[in-house]
Amino acid sequence: MRALLIFLLVLIVSGCARPPREPLPPPSPTKELSKPIPSWMKPYTINGKTYFPLPSAEGYEEECIASWYGPGFHGKETSSGEIYNMYEYTAAHKLLPMGTYVLVKNLENGRELVVRINDRGPFVGERCLDLSYAAARELGMVGKGLSRVKIVALSEGEYQGTKIVYKNIPNFRFNKFYLQVGAFKVYSNALRYKLELENQFEQVEIEPYYDNEKGLFYRVQIYLADDLNKARILAENLKNKGFPQGFLVAK
């Protein structure tokens, strides 16, 4: 009788026990999270120096030396994929997003002009901006070649598919900025890395991304800030402290 009671008790307890939890599946890629990163947003190296393009131009201002380029590049493809036309008001910048409209003021004569960034460069000395021939002519710097300028970002283009849709009015949006520090084919590897990073950082996320050629990846990203200027400073600090290949992404 005692054995029967024990057997019945075991059956009751086992019937009330919760079944073991199934491991959570990896997050599925969504349309919003699967946007490809344009090639001109990825880090690139010129003459041994690596540049990390900015994910946003919001609030960007700079004073530096500008130059111009013309006939030798006319009709050739720019870094954005456009064909360079020296008679349009465009410019090259090492970091600003393609399609950004910037106000350029020649600090030596007071002339101003709005140009659109559609190329990378210049990579000579401390120059920050390479203007088209037409833009340089309007700013009165063709003969001199170089001028000190101030540039102020006004608005950005929007990347859609394989092309940039340009906007002529300020269109800056409030974003969250992250430092992408890894991309994994296997979700468990991305999760392991995320858990390691959470020992140092408050917010680490895994973003699924589908590449048409290479398949599904899981990007590991460290949250930086909602403010672009703060995010840039934090990103540079982290790249100098163990994440040299990391780059800014905005959501």
Same domain, 143 and 214: no
How far is C-alpha 147 from the geometric centre of its chain's CA atoms? 29
CATH of the domain at 183: 3.30.70.1070
Is it the case that residue 35 has pLDDT exceeding 70? no
Q: What is the pTM of this model?
A: 0.55
Where on the phi/psi map is residue 155: left (φ > 0), alpha (ψ -120 to 50), or beta?
A: beta
CATH of the domain at 97: 2.40.40.10
pLDDT band at 230 (very low <50, low <70, confident <90, very high): confident
The SS3 call for residue 65 is strand
**Per-residue model confidence as pLDDT tens digits over 137-176:** 999 999 889 999 998 887 776 666 556 565 544 444 446 7
SS3 percent helix, strand, coil of the chain, rounded to 5, is 20, 35, 45
Q: Which of 145, 165, 185 is the last residue of a domain?
A: 165
Same domain, 161 and 179: no
User: Quick one: average pLDDT of 60-77?
Assistant: 92
Residue 42 lies in a domain: no
Residue 131 lies in a domain: yes
**Per-residue model confidence as pLDDT tens digits over 198-222:** 999 999 999 898 776 778 889 999 9
**Per-residue model confidence as pLDDT tens digits over 82-116:** 899 999 999 999 999 888 888 899 999 988 888 89
Residue 152 lies in a domain: yes
Residue 31 lies in a domain: no
| Domain around 131 | 57-165
